[in-house]
Amino acid sequence: MCYNFSMFFNFCLFLAELLSVRQLLSLLTMSIFRFILPTIMRSRSWKCFATGIPSDAIAELNKEMESIFGESPSPSPLGGSSPPQQPAQPTSEAWEVQPALTHVDSSGQAKMVDVSPKQDSERVAIASCRVLLGQKAFNLVASNQIAKGDVLTVAKIAAITGAKQTSNLIPLCHNINLSHVRVDLTLNEEDSSVIIEGEVATSGKTGVEMEAMTAVAIAGLTVYDMCKAASKDICVTDICLQHKSGGKSGNWSRS
């Protein structure tokens, strides 16, 4: 903060004329604590509350100091220059328990979840996928004229194989004994697509969501591979879980 030197000099002369030496020393001492230190701390409280000085002199001093330094804000109840800042109240979201990643340990390293304490239960997962073929490739698939062969049958076999190989493809998945794998591929004329649905079941300690999604993803990629000679615009999309049941988390379905 930069002050006008002439104003400060005139203010010093004013103090010398108004006060005795003892009062001047008292005022200077109080000023150090009331003005200089608060300035360092970026405070703007410039009121003088020295003791031993006549009240009319204090009022005159306060008026003079306000003309130099500006008006002082109202003091806080504790005598500070501004009321203490209240800590921000946490929102309701802050109190919610955030879900933890089960495949990450306390140090942030990847880990395989230990499922040995879990009880065996019947578990089912259903996933889906869509392959946008385009009109040309769709007509070839529908008429079974793709050069590589029967697209839907090959994709179905690939999906079942993929479900059984999930633990080899996804590093932290468990090797699960599957009791059932169902894959359906349906041609949809409205958007020239193949709709794929896969269902996987097991009786074990962990779910089969990844097996179901791997199955439909592999089926979609197989359709792409067999049809790519006919079109490069084919798009494999909307791979997602539709339903799961069993296990600690219970049942879930996509709304």
Number of Cβ within 10 Å of residue 178's Cβ equals: 17
Alpha-carbon distances of 11 from 19, 20, 43, 174, 232, rounded to whole Å: 12, 15, 21, 83, 86
The answer to whether residues 70 and 46 touch, using CB atoms and an 8 Å cutoff, is: yes
Beta bridge partners of 181: 200
Beta bridge partners of 199: 126, 182
State residue 16 phi and psi, 5-degree precision: -65, -35
**Measured between alpha carbons, how far is 24 from 48 in angstroms, rounded to an integer?**
13
All residues at 6 or more sequence positions from 51 whose CB lies less than 8 Å from its CB, including other chains: 26
Q: 200: closest CA among 249, 154, 238, 164?
A: 164
Residue type (1 letter), 205: K
Catalytic entry in 105, 114, 184, 225: 225
- What number of residues does the chain have? 255
The residue type found at 69 is: F
Confirm whether 184 is a catalytic residue. no
> 196 — phi, psi (to 5°)?
-115, 135
Q: How far apart are CA 42 and CA 38, in angstroms?
A: 6
Q: Give the residue numbers marked as catalytic.
A: 225
